[in-house]
Amino acid sequence: MRPDGEEHRLGPARVLITRRQPILPDDPLDPLRELLAREKPGVGIARVHQVHGVDIHHAAGPTSEPYPRADAVVTAERALAAVVVTADCVPLLLADREGRCVAAVHAGWRGTHAGIAGRVVAELESRFGVRPEELAARVGPAIGPCCYEVSSELGADIAARWGGDWVHPGPAGRPHLDLPGLVRFQLVQADVEESAVGGGGECTLCERERWYSWRGGDKSGRLVAAVWLPDDASPV
């Protein structure tokens, strides 16, 4: 793994997730901009003002302040990175394996409880004609079930809607939520192939020397997750 981030491929799409920086930048997107300028010149950035909801922004080009209020960015444009920022919530990156579109999703407990992962899958099918089984996904670093203590009320609500597999007894008696596992489950429930969903194994709180964690005290730091189709993207 490179010291400043990790890279992945989702079919022809590229994924970049920034790691904890030695010096906190004024803007959490600065490390991403620096990496893109150095290694992927010409890639623009489309981000949103995240509000822990389920709204989806369709990006036709780079965004600027005031950013659209949404928790997912989808685009079919080449060399335009769909971007989300997180610090314990789940960053979810999706790409059509035929190179038609990509999506970046901010999945906190509210958005996940409301089924944002499945909503984005449905939106990609409705807007771009991409069937769920044609998608590849990456679940980025997020707080894991080892550390994500939630209220009894929230644990009961999640279990009632999504089943009890995602809520576990914690050592202090309060429930722990498997947020990355629930996001993966929602993708599979939406007919994304389980074998096409990667990641989801790194806890931002346990591994806060690598990633930013709100619960670990990183109130201003953020990791940035981006996915884009290169200019020369073609089916694989």
Statement: residue 186 has pLDDT above 90 = yes
Higher pLDDT, 38 or 161: 161
> What integer pLDDT is reported at residue 3 of this predicted model?
65
Cis amide bond preceding 66, omega within 30: yes
Q: How confident is the model at residue 155 (pLDDT cuts 50, 70, 90)?
A: very high
Q: Which fold has domain 5-228?
A: CNF1/YfiH-like putative cysteine hydrolases (3.60.140)
Q: Residue 159: pLDDT above 80?
A: yes
Hey, where are the domains in the chain? Answer: 5-228
pLDDT exceeds cutoff 50 at 236:
no
Q: Is the pLDDT of residue 99 over 90?
A: yes
Query: pTM for this structure?
Result: 0.94
pLDDT band of residue 20 (cuts 50, 70, 90) is confident
Q: At residue 157, does pLDDT exceed 50? A: yes
What is the mean pLDDT of the segment spanning 123-147?
Answer: 97
Is it the case that residue 6 has pLDDT exceeding 50?
yes
Q: How confident is the model at residue 234 (pLDDT cuts 50, 70, 90)?
A: low
Task: Indicate the pLDDT class of residue 24, thresholds 50, 70 and 90.
Answer: low
Give the model's pLDDT for residue 29. Answer: 86
* Residue 125 confidence (pLDDT): 98
pLDDT digits (tens, 9 = 90+) for 199-211: 988 999 999 889 9
